[in-house]
A and B are shown apart, each in its own frame.
Chain A
Amino acid sequence: MPIEVIKPGLSTTVQDRGRTGYYHVGVPPSGGLDQFSLVAANLLVGNAAGAATLECAYMGPELRFTEPVVVAATGAEIEPKLNAEPRPGWTSFAVSAGDVLTFGHLKRGARMYLAVSGGIDVPEMLGSRSTYTLGALGGHDGRALQAGDELALGSSGDGAAGRSVPEALRPDLPNELEIRVVMGLYDHLLTDAGRKTFLATTWTLTPVADRVGFRYKGAQLDMVKREQPFGAGSDPSNIVDAPYPIGSIQVPGGAEPIVLHRDAVSGGGYAMIATVISADMDAIAQSAPGSKTRFVAVDLEAALAARRERADRISRLGGVFG
């Protein structure tokens, strides 16, 4: 096999653009949480935009290559080192047979994407190579990588070393974020004061931040006291179990909002009060525990405009290497 995993990192999974069509039976989309960085890494090494990459949370792996390839690391700022020699991020470079790739400490962001020319070749499950660890589905044996794993590669693309994503196209990775949300779903279960508190609070991301969801602390939200509907459960934040949108924000007990990401639990009985716009899900993916976040309410039109801007940024990436 062309890649041997010497050390897996903290949580390294195979991810592509995810799977569609199975959320109604609880199989979430999965795929890279920061899709912009995933696409960028693939284009840098000459892969199709949606090839499978390694998503590495907080820490890079240690990998030995047994054949020549081209690789690129994007997303979080974690310095790649080839045989202990530093290499730039957001830039493709050549790797020879026998080389060992390691990474420095995390400086900014949370998730690094490592693309290898040819793409990581694991079997497609339900139309995607992405790992859904809760369901032990897809990726490498349905789980995060472990020391001793070996990875195959797809048929090689036209990998070229020395390609770089222009600075202007790289994400900012700030420690203080403004995340745009569309209010709705069950936000009528918040009192006016609860709603104001939600939007006025500077929330801190807790260490409970993984592919399923990101939990924040910062304030208690006041919820409407009502007679609970039949089947909804006894807490004012309970609803009759309903589907959860990807990006939806739920507030169990009115405390500690949780933003669901691409390995979301697909439904449940906690009121959702807002949904993060699709264009800001990459920024959520790159927020590390401790980062400060404010949720800013926008309307659907603004969400659609932001979506078009993000699509335009992705197509400019394509243009750079096209």
Chain B
Amino acid sequence: MSSADATSARYSWGADEHLFVEMAEAMSLEAYFRSMAVVTALRERRPEGVLEICPANASYQVRFNPDTLAPDRLEALLREIEAEVGDAHDFTFDTRIVEIPVLYGDPWTHETLMRFRDRHQDPDATDLEYAARINGFDDAQGFIDAHSGAPWMASMVGFVAGLPFLYQMVSRGRQLEVPKYVRPRTDTPALTVGHGGCFGCIYSVRGAGGYQMFGITPVPIYDAKQELPDFRDFVCFFEPGDIVKFEPIGRERYDELRGEVERGEISIRQKPVTFNLEEFHADPDGYNARLLEVLRAD
């Protein structure tokens, strides 16, 4: 089984329990949708012995039990599905769009970033000011407008439980790119909105981290005790394929929403949508505008 053709995926064994499949080396919505299309088909046909199916940004991974599913049979099946899926240009899937309020330049990430200035590329600026400058914006507000303007796709969920990696649904030329910290921090507040490389993220729990920190959301996205209404069925809010719109808020609104969290009343605004890659590519801005109309309709 060779992979001479430029669009064909690269298969590699993660020892005897994992098959890793890289759709492309570089990030793109095309690579992501090919991975999602294969994963969707595999879930439908799920043979016995498949334990975990993990879609990621431009790759996916299957964990399997080789005692019940022979490795060569799994590889043959995945290659067969890959051929059926092709370039997945017309891939359509049912998902949802969700609104995540963000207090940009908040005091908690500010306190944290000041503690770790010695690990940053630009110790004299905040993470927001630095990101604005290297992406060609006049000031932090310009960067915030771009960050919160177009929606993002949760192209991978993981690192720690429930953490979404987010890829903004704009052309390559408009992608926001920021390097990770020179050396990772040992601390990041829970619910920090971060960015590294071309990926945004929301830290689901407090912990180490290397992404630049732009703000914080008041709404929990992970609830191990399952006390909040959004978590009655499951501990993580995000699933791969979710579409996210960041909504800038001020301190007053932040405090209101935290009050709702403490009273156990908060729920994240979300609406079901169907996403089609071909229609998106025909008019990305128009398509995004229609998605946001769905989100805001009552």
Contacts and interface: CB of A to CB of B under 8 A. Distances in A.
A19 to B, nearest CB: 10
Interface in B183-203: 196-199
A300 B199 CA distance: 34
Contacts of B157: 24-26
A135 B20 contact: no
A233 B53 contact: no
A25 B60 CA distance: 13
Contacts of A304: 16, 66, 71
A277 B158 contact: no
B165 A248 contact: no
A239 B235 CA distance: 29
Nearest to A279: B16
Contact of A240 (B18, B27, B162, B172): B27
Given A134-B161, A229-B27, A267-B156, A185 B53 contact: no
Contacts of B197: 231-233, 238, 240-241, 269
B15 A26 contact: no
Nearest to B165: A241
Contacts of A135: 160-162, 205, 222, 224, 235
A182 B71 CA distance: 14
Interface stretch (B107-115, B236-244, B246-254): B236-244
Contacts of A315: none
Interface in A91-131: 125-126
Contact of A230 (B18, B52, B172): B172
A181 interface: yes
A26 B16 CA distance: 21
B59 A240 contact: yes
Given A24-B53, A24-B54, A182 B236 contact: no
Contact of B57 (A23, A184, A240, A247): A240
A245 B156 contact: no
Q: Which of A26, A185, A245, A276 gathers the greatest number of chain B CB atoms within 10 Å? A: A26
Contact of A278 (B17, B25, B58): B17
A229 B25 contact: yes
Contact of A27 (B15, B28, B66, B161): B161
How many interface residues does chain A have, given as a range? 35 or more
Interface in A258-278: 265-269, 272, 275-278
A267 B224 contact: no
A185 B199 contact: no
Contacts of A229: 24-27
A317 to B, nearest CB: 17
Given A20-B52, A230-B26, A26 B158 contact: yes
B14 A25 contact: no
B171 interface: no
A311 interface: yes
Contacts of A22: 161, 236
B161 A26 contact: yes
Contacts of A277: 15-16
A278 B16 contact: yes
Contact of B158 (A21, A132, A267): A267
Interface string A16-45: 000011111111000000000000000000
Nearest to B238: A25
A24 B14 contact: no
A265 B57 contact: no
A135 B224 CA distance: 7
Contacts of A134: 160-161, 205, 207
Given A240-B59, A275-B13, A136 B205 contact: yes
B291 interface: no
A88 interface: no
A303 B27 contact: no
A246 interface: yes
Contact of B199 (A25, A26, A231): A231
A129 to B, nearest CB: 14
A184 B13 contact: yes
B258 interface: no
Contacts of A155: none
B27 A137 contact: no
20 contacts: A24-B55, A125-B224, A135-B205, A135-B222, A142-B224, A184-B20, A185-B20, A231-B58, A231-B167, A231-B197, A239-B25, A240-B26, A241-B56, A242-B58, A243-B20, A248-B18, A266-B158, A266-B160, A278-B15, A304-B16
Interface of A: 20-27, 125-126, 132, 134-137, 142, 181-182, 184-185, 229-234, 238-243, 245-248, 265-269, 272, 275-278, 300, 303-304, 307, 311
Top-6 shortest CB links A-B: A231-B27, A245-B14, A26-B158, A266-B158, A229-B26, A275-B15
